[in-house]
Homo-oligomer: A and B are copies of this chain.
């Protein structure tokens, strides 16, 4: 069956450029090594065993997950050190205990005394390895977490002095780094993320808690940090594919983007400047992450079938299974005049979101031919 040509695929189809993916994965491993911290890649972007292994350097290592389903899939493939980086609730503790029973060292996240008490209660009567708990620290005002100097930090830690659980340390994610616009801002954001997490861990230790783990990261800060003293591990995910948002932030170029959607031209409306294709939001996602960036890429940047960018041709509108390609200028005279049936590729705004629309990847090898097919794990 493999290798075969792109023309043998039905469209739309999700393409993964394996050489680019491996290059991106190696770049982050080198980065973590240079910073002297361990890497705990986030598998939520790819949700794919082969990619998770590549991120870890070829064999199971520490990983971050966004769902317990991802943890299940990783555990089944031999991963034994998994951090679930979304605030835990009691209705997921039975699932967490099943993972621990399989031999997984599972760490979960919370940021309140109420959540700590609920977890302790749900872990009552647990035998065997305790559930590892990280306290989420908010270093950028982006989402959840306690401020590094919040009085509640020590109350949460105290609530976790209980059977069945073990306070492992602190975790933060500088999601606001996606809105940085220059290198100085990125470096400053990385330092803010580091300093906040280290400060919170020092407060815990001063109060007598062990708190060995200081976990930080996002793709932009991980690639921008000048140094990470006091940090023990770095988390990042989207770097393995990169996307137009990351290119807009400035941490990659479009020729680093490993993910694209193959589509066919299905018609034209020349008077309106439209070329219709069969990649709508079902294939591309509704993500408009570049809308707030200096260069808005609409629903994605159009390339030819070989992946060469067709400068300024965008998927400017989508419905479920239709995409409308226009020139960035909106000038109908500059419509993309290629025949019905022409194959094109669309670079995604947000690799996590575009990937989530598909059951798996068609893997492209060095020659631009399809050399394999990798499954994704989706759902919860």
Decide yes or no whether A88 CB sits under 8 A from chain B.
Answer: yes
Give chain B nearest CB distance to A220 CB in angstroms: 14
> A278 and B341: CB pair below 8 A?
no
Decide yes or no whether A264 CB sits under 8 A from chain B.
Answer: yes
The A80-118 residues at the B interface (CB cut-off 8 A) are 86-92, 95, 110-112, 114-115, 118
> A87 and B267: CB pair below 8 A?
yes
| A342 CA to B175 CA, complexed, in Å | 25
B-contact bits for A127-159, CB 8 A (1 contact / 0 none)? 000000000101001011000000000000000
Decide yes or no whether A232 CB sits under 8 A from chain B.
Answer: no
> A266 and B86: CB pair below 8 A?
yes
| B residues near A118, Cβ cutoff 8 Å | 340-341
Closest to A237 in B: B320
Decide yes or no whether A259 CB sits under 8 A from chain B.
Answer: no
| B residues near A67, Cβ cutoff 8 Å | 282, 321
A24-32, A161-169, A181-189, A356-364 - the one binding chain B = A356-364
Give chain B nearest CB distance to A339 CB in angstroms: 6
Decide yes or no whether A286 CB sits under 8 A from chain B.
Answer: yes
Report the contact-size class of chain A (Cβ under 8 Å from the partner): 35 or more
| A322 CA to B114 CA, complexed, in Å | 18
| A288 CA to B89 CA, complexed, in Å | 28
> A91 and B286: CB pair below 8 A?
no
> A380 and B87: CB pair below 8 A?
no
B-contact bits for A336-380, CB 8 A (1 contact / 0 none)? 000111000000000011001111000000000000000000111
Decide yes or no whether A327 CB sits under 8 A from chain B.
Answer: no
| A115 CA to B278 CA, complexed, in Å | 14
The A6-55 residues at the B interface (CB cut-off 8 A) are 7, 9-13, 44
Give chain B nearest CB distance to A108 CB in angstroms: 11
> B7 and A91: CB pair below 8 A?
yes
Give chain B nearest CB distance to A356 CB in angstroms: 6
- A-B residue pairs in contact (CB < 8 Å), sample of 26: A9-B91, A10-B68, A10-B92, A10-B95, A11-B89, A13-B380, A67-B282, A86-B278, A87-B278, A87-B322, A89-B340, A91-B264, A91-B341, A114-B340, A115-B267, A115-B340, A143-B276, A143-B322, A143-B324, A144-B269, A144-B276, A283-B380, A285-B286, A320-B352, A358-B379, A359-B378
List residues of A whose CB falls within 8 A of some B CB: 7, 9-13, 44, 66-68, 86-92, 95, 110-112, 114-115, 118, 136, 138, 141, 143-144, 175, 264-269, 272, 276, 278, 281-283, 285-288, 319-322, 324, 339-341, 352-353, 356-359, 378-380
Given A90-B341, A112-B268, A286-B288: 16 more A-B contacts, CB < 8 Å? A10-B380, A11-B91, A11-B380, A12-B380, A86-B322, A89-B265, A89-B340, A89-B341, A91-B341, A114-B340, A115-B267, A138-B269, A143-B276, A143-B322, A143-B324, A144-B276
